[in-house]
Amino acid sequence: MDVVAIIISKTILFSIPLMLGALAGMFSERSGVINIALEGIMIFGSLFAAIFITKAMVDTPLAENHPQFVVFLTAIIAGLAGLIFSLLLAYAAIRLKANQVITGTALNIFAPSFAILVAYAVITLGVSDIPIPNLIKFSASDFGLDPTQIPNWVNTLLFKNLYLTTFIAFFAVAIAFVVLYKTKFGLRLRACGEHPQAADSVGIKVLRMRYIGVAISGFLAGIAGFSYSMANGGVHQADVQGFGFLALAVMIFGNWKPLKILFAALFFSFFKTIAVVGSTLPGFPDFGLQHVEYLYRVLPYIITLVVLAFTSKSSRAPKAEGIPYDPGTR
């Protein structure tokens, strides 16, 4: 029972940054801007969240009394940092009509190096890791439960890896679904990603909608970066280990749709968890290999590829993504 609890709880933990990152990518691409810079934006969000919570919040009365409010504030800071950073992409891609892949790549190269430089400046030369204090975790007692009273596996399942960002992520999926499919704004956003000329002809301000799309994207990706620090064991490392790119893959896997992204993130994360946890458990074959965990780590990627091959027929990217909008082409 404990094993299952560990696997489920870790699956959810790993899926959070992927889910938020993929939603971030979705908002940008649905508006017509390819956001390959998710990786960089996540690092940026993670960096400022870590600095904010360790430098401004630790040991304050606020953190003692309302730790989850502090986590909420930090998530907002992470989101705003991501938003501001993503405006660099928005300005170049929308206003200046620059190549979106080039701009995104520039941001991806900038962010990890900048994070290390800032960590050197803020912490000390040679140290790029910023540990995040323990206050951010939920425990059973936060919900009025006594940890000794509930079974061990329940405690593991529910509270071992529970953070505020877990709720934020699932909430974000729901909101994204409603915004995208049930509001006027969502319809307009999708129109700008599918056929901006048509959208423009009915009076939608395409460029403005794209700015908003990228801004939402930056905000969510910033929070995704903060949540990655938690999945990473509570430390900011000036790097998100390719989670930004994986989030991009999850977005494509999820077919640019919020609910499918939810399942795609859980699916991918499940196999990743198996890869990390599996080889340490009894009963998993080692095929007579040394360090068989690396074999298990290959699996999530191969399985995703196979599944993609079977589901590719229904896959459809927003039609106008990656093409700068030029009113002259209407």
Partner 1 sequence: MMAKSRKELSEGTLNIISSIISILGGLLIGFLILILLEITKSESTISTPFTVMRNFLTYPLQDSGKFIKVFYNAAPLILCGLAVGFAFKAGLFNIGATGQYTLGAFFALVAAILWQFPWWAAMLVGMVVGAFWGFIPGFFKAVFNINEVITTIMLNWAALNLANLLLYNMPKLRIIPPYNRVDKLIARNPSALLPDLGLKELLGTDFFNIGIIIAIVLAVVMFIVLNKTTFGYEVKACGFNKNASTYAGIKAKRTIIMTMVISGALAGIAGGVSFLAGTIQFNIESNLLAMGFNGIPVALLANSHPLGIIASGLFIGYMQVGGQAFEGVYSSEMTNVILSVIIYFSAFALIVSQVIKNIQKKNRLKRGESDEDGSESVSVPETDDSESEDSPEGANAKTMEVSK
Would you tell me which residues interact with partner 1 (CB under 8 A)?
A: 36, 88, 92, 96-99, 101-103, 105-110, 112-114, 116-117, 120-122, 125, 239, 241-242, 245-246, 248-249, 252-253, 289-292, 294-295, 297-298, 301-302, 304-305, 308-309, 312, 315, 317, 323, 326, 328-329
C-beta of 41 vs 136, nearer to partner 1: 41
Q: How far is the CB of 149 from partner 1 (least distance, A)?
A: 40
CB of 289 to partner 1, least distance (A): 6
Nearer to partner 1, 142 or 286 (CB): 286
Contact indicator for 75, 168 with CB cutoff of 8 Å: yes
Nearest CB to partner 1, comparing residues 52 and 163:
52
Rounded Cα–Cα distance for residues 240 and 270 (Å)? 19
CB 52 within 8 A of CB 20: no
The three-class DSSP label of residue 247 is helix
DSSP state for residue 130 in the 8-state scheme: E
Smallest gap from Cβ 312 to partner 1, in A, equals 4
Per-residue buried b or exposed e for 105-140, using 16+ beta carbons within 10 Å of the residue's own CB: ebbbebbbebbbebbeeebeeeebebebbebbbbeb
> Which residue, 2 or 286, is less far from partner 1 as judged by CB?
286
CA distances from 34 to 89, 204, 214, 217, 243 (A): 10, 20, 9, 11, 17
- 122 or 259: CB nearest partner 1: 122
| CA neighbor of 29 nearest in space, from 239, 248, 275, 205 | 248
Q: Give the 3-state secondary structure of residue 131.
A: strand
Is 68 or 255 the residue whose CB approaches partner 1 more closely? Answer: 255
Q: What tokens were used for 223?
A: 């929070």
Task: Name the one residue in this structure whose structure tokens are 């998530």.
Answer: 75
Give the separation between CA 164 and CA 72, rounded to whole angstroms. 7
Q: How far is the CB of 180 from partner 1 (least distance, A)?
A: 21
The nearest distance, CB 115 to partner 1, in angstroms, is: 9
Q: Return the number of the residue (103 or 161) whose C-beta is nearest partner 1.
A: 103
Least CB distance from residue 45 to partner 1, whole Å?
Answer: 17
What SS3 state is found at 132? Answer: coil
**Integer angstrom CA distances of residue 7 from 162, 166, 168, 306:** 14, 16, 21, 23
64 CB neighbour count, 10 Å cutoff: 11
Min dist CB 150 to partner 1, Å, is: 36
Q: Based on CB atoms, which residue is closest to partner 1, 159 or 253?
A: 253
Nearest to 219 by CA among 87, 114, 107: 87
Residue 114 Cβ vs partner 1, minimum distance, rounded to whole Å: 6
Report yes or no: 273 and 10 within 8 Å, Cβ to Cβ. Answer: yes
Question: Which CB atom, from 149 or from 310, has the smaller least distance to partner 1?
Answer: 310
Rounded to a whole number of angstroms, the minimum distance from the CB of residue 305 to partner 1 is 6
With tokens 């403005």, the residue in question is 208
